[in-house]
Chains A and B, each alone.
Chain A
Amino acid sequence: MTLIQDPSLKSLILGVLALLVFASVAGWILDRRVSSASARATVDNINARIRAWWLMALLFVVAVSMGTIVSILLFATTSFLALREFVTLAPTRPGDHRALFWSFFVVTPIQYFLIWMQWYGLFSILIPVYVSIFLAIRTALAGDTERFLERSATNQWGLMICVYFVSYVPALLMLRIPGYERQAPALMFFLVLVVQLSDVLQYVWGKTLGSRRIAPSISPNKTWEGLIGGVVSATALGTAIWWATPFSPGAAALMALILTTMGFAGGLIMSAIKRDRGVKDYGTLIGGHGGVLDRIDSLCFAAPVFFHLTRYFYVP
């Protein structure tokens, strides 16, 4: 076990624990004061979410402090579970079976293995180039042409979102930033923390002040008040922890603003897919939140952008 040597990472972890304790106390107070039936349902859901947050935060903190391999395994498992939820909703036919088997048991492990090898050149093109070609061939060979375009495009997008995009989170560990050599785990922590805080804060602002809906046909819960309040407050928090990153305060603010905006867009896109498929949640694995994809939707779309911006501007 690699003990946490980076003092700023230690501070971030303590900060998260403090936040969780605060949330649990707030949830407990809400629980004692609530009276009406509809508010009761909301408060119960909030408390279920907080309990799930404890579990997810502990998993993440343990993985980060155990080092690169465990972090990679955590996100590989996340990809596996997310892809399982995605494929369940996809309009697959028996002709997709072999291609899907490859996606789960060959492509996903190879993608994370490449990240462990730190082979940037291949990890960044494996799924968009080689796998997209190979899986299309495999599906075509199965000979079923019914809705072929829809099926192969859906399966490819599932791999992009659930595996390729998610794998960018542990890929941050391979970045060698001058003057920040041993602190890559803190950079990963910064990404996950800002994106997830933005989700929570958008929810809190939306529940308290929200009235003007952004896209009522996609999600009744996304309001302009929630978006602006969440993005502004999460950006402020991201700026406030600039000392844990290789960024200057100004750059940290800009990064946090991009992350929160991308996170919002990710949530919107993944909600649109859910409406298209006629479901409310991707699954039931995480109490109060829904499925794994419901929780990581914002992370999926923020992680690749964050990785490439950091790599372009900070890695020589």
Chain B
Amino acid sequence: MIDTALASACRLIAGATAEWRCNPDSPAQRIYFGNHSSHLDFVVIWSALPWRRRRHARPVAGGDYWQQGRLRRYLASDVFRAVLVERESSSGDRAERARAAVEQMARAMGQEDSLIVFPEGTRSANGQMGPFKSGLYHLSRARPDAELVPVHLENLNRMLPKGESLPVPMVCRVTFGPVVPACPGERKDAFLERARTAILQLEARA
């Protein structure tokens, strides 16, 4: 109920038209990875998914933001079933935290869930995609069975720019690209570059 209403509200504000270059209704477990420019990014991807897939798509989000306040906690845990991870910027051993986060994500996928992740790790200020952190690489190696689907989001940075808390309606476009094939034994940098290029190609063709 609430998730359907929320998805409709999101489509009204974002007017998101989804374009699919892979099978939208595939039962395969997937890792949707997109460019990150606003807090609404994962909601827009989430509401663009077919209803049956939406129930199995879990966004990965920063625990520091989503654990503040009852409403956010409720939305994160009950509606989106978000996987809340500690950010790398938190104190402590960074490499250790990153490893723990990847492990947590891989476990959260379980037998039938998909993930929505943003490999840049943080929102870009100007809409230009930044470099990818290594999390996506480690995640793809931990879950080699999952399909990697690149997602390009257009206009989200104009809808809710960094530093603003209220969105302005925009006609946004969500493009789901073809599945990025796995290359066993590929080096980390080459993999991340290939994944990032997959999103840039969607941008160029959009």
Contact = CB atoms under 8 A, between A and B. Distances in A.
Contacts of B163: 94
B158 interface: yes
B171 interface: yes
B171 A85 contact: yes
A87 B169 contact: yes
Contacts of A87: 168-170
Given A84-B171, A104-B168, A104-B169, A97 B161 contact: yes
A259 B158 CA distance: 37
If over half of B's interface residues share one DSSP class (helix, strand or loop), that class is named, otherwise mixed; here it is: loop
Interface string B156-177: 0010010110111111000000
Contacts of B164: 94, 97-98
Residue among A83, A85, A94, A101 with most chain B CB within 10 A: A94
A284 interface: yes
A94 B164 CA distance: 9
B88 to A, nearest CB: 26
Contact of B169 (A80, A98, A291): A80
A87 B155 CA distance: 11
Contact of A94 (B15, B161, B169): B161
Given A88-B155, A283-B15, A97 B169 contact: no
Contacts of B171: 84-85, 88, 283, 291
Contacts of A283: 15, 171
A101 B161 CA distance: 12
B168 A101 contact: yes
A291 B170 CA distance: 13
B170 A101 contact: no
Interface in B163-196: 163-164, 166-171
Nearest to B171: A88
A62 B166 CA distance: 33
A20 B168 CA distance: 37
A98 B168 CA distance: 8
Contacts of A80: 169
Contacts of B197: none
A285 interface: yes
Nearest to B170: A88
11 contacts: A80-B169, A81-B15, A87-B169, A87-B170, A88-B15, A88-B155, A92-B158, A97-B164, A104-B169, A285-B15, A291-B171
Interface of A: 80-81, 83-85, 87-88, 92, 94, 97-98, 100-101, 104, 283-285, 291
Interface of B: 15, 17, 155, 158, 161, 163-164, 166-171
